[in-house]
Structure 1
Amino acid sequence: MEISKEELLYKLNVRQRTTLMDTLHISYTDVGPDYLVAEMPVSPAVHQPYGVLHGGATAALAESVGSAASALFIDHNSQEVYGIEISCNHLRSVSSGMVIATAKAIHIGRSIHLWEILVKDTNGKLISHCKLTNMVVSKRN
């Protein structure tokens, strides 16, 4: 049975309740066959001391969207997915508004997934360029 895009986004957003993603107000907004989009509001709650978006919050957004995207490609009855490496190049600062992260698949293998995540502001300006490697493992008993 095929699940609708709306239902899938709803399930992704419900699944993150009471997690870091909920704390950061990350929400999933679009999904396709090889991508997932999430957004996060930028406010003082995610600022670093100079009043701009903290790189760690950006990395958390990138890892969240990339990991959730990998979860769309696994068998949840027998597999789990874990981020094993993330790199982020922070190119521009932002102090308010919303940032939008788009994870696009570079490689979807049996045990390794590689994602490119572009984090942009609402004007489409690139804020951070990130890369996430996820490992797919057998579920622990």
Structure 2
Amino acid sequence: MTRSSARESAPESAAVPEIEVQYPDEQLAARMGIEITEWTRDRVVGTMPVAGNRQPFGLLHGGANGVLAETLGSTAAAMHGWPERLPVGLELNCTHHRSALGGTVTGVCTPLSVGRTIGTFEIVITDDEDRRVCTAKLTCVYRDRPPGSAG
């Protein structure tokens, strides 16, 4: 997703920070086919194909749910701290409700609580039939950006 398309999906009242979200080929999110389709301070949405992200029994790998959740949650956390503070993942919890066998899963991330030093986000992952596949919670700690670091 390009920065300009993120602005188009964001409500005019929401201030969207200048964050370039891109996943070069060597990044895990790109390898897994994750695409962020919407981002605002109140909601980050992304999709991931089941194909290529299965465990040996043909089901969507639970770790793939974790990667999608962490990708969306970290993006949301950055939206709340940028550019002064950087989020670092502290804890990820995933509850797997059902299997996904094919198609695409969609994750919707919303903030539960965001303070100066800690942010917690809920990520709900659903299948193509809008059935809940996984509920995840990501907690990040915010660190001050080191002076002179690249933004």
Q: TM-score range by the shorter chain?
A: 0.7 to 0.9
Q: Map residues 79-94 of structure 1 onto 2, 5 A cutoff.
A: 79-94=85-100
1:5 to 8, 18, 21: 8
1:16 to 23, 44, 50: 23
Q: Cα gap change, 1:70/1:36 in structure 2, threshold over 3 Å: closer, same or farther?
A: same
Closer/same/farther in 2, CA of residues 22 and 114 from structure 1, 3 Å limit: same
5+ residue gaps, structure 2:
1-5, 11-15
Cα offset for 1:123?
A: 1.2
Shift of 1:16: 1.9
**CA deviation after TM superposition for structure 1 residue 19, in Å:** 1.0
Give the match's secondary structure for 1:73. helix
Match of 1:107 in 2: 113
Q: Distance in 2 between matches of 1:82 and 1:137?
A: 7
C-alpha distance in 1, partners of 2:120/2:8?
Answer: 23
Question: Which residue pairs with 2:59 in the alignment?
Answer: 52
Q: CA RMSD in A?
A: 1.9
| 2:34 paired residue among 17, 26, 29 | 26
Deviation at 1:139, TM superposition (A): 2.1
Report the TM-score when normalising by structure 2. 0.81
Q: What is the aligned residue count? A: 134
1:27 partner letter = E
The whole-number CA distance in structure 2 between the counterparts of 1:35 and 1:112 is 18
Identity %: 30
Higher helix content, 1 or 2: 1
Instruction: Name the amino acid aligned to 2:105.
Output: V
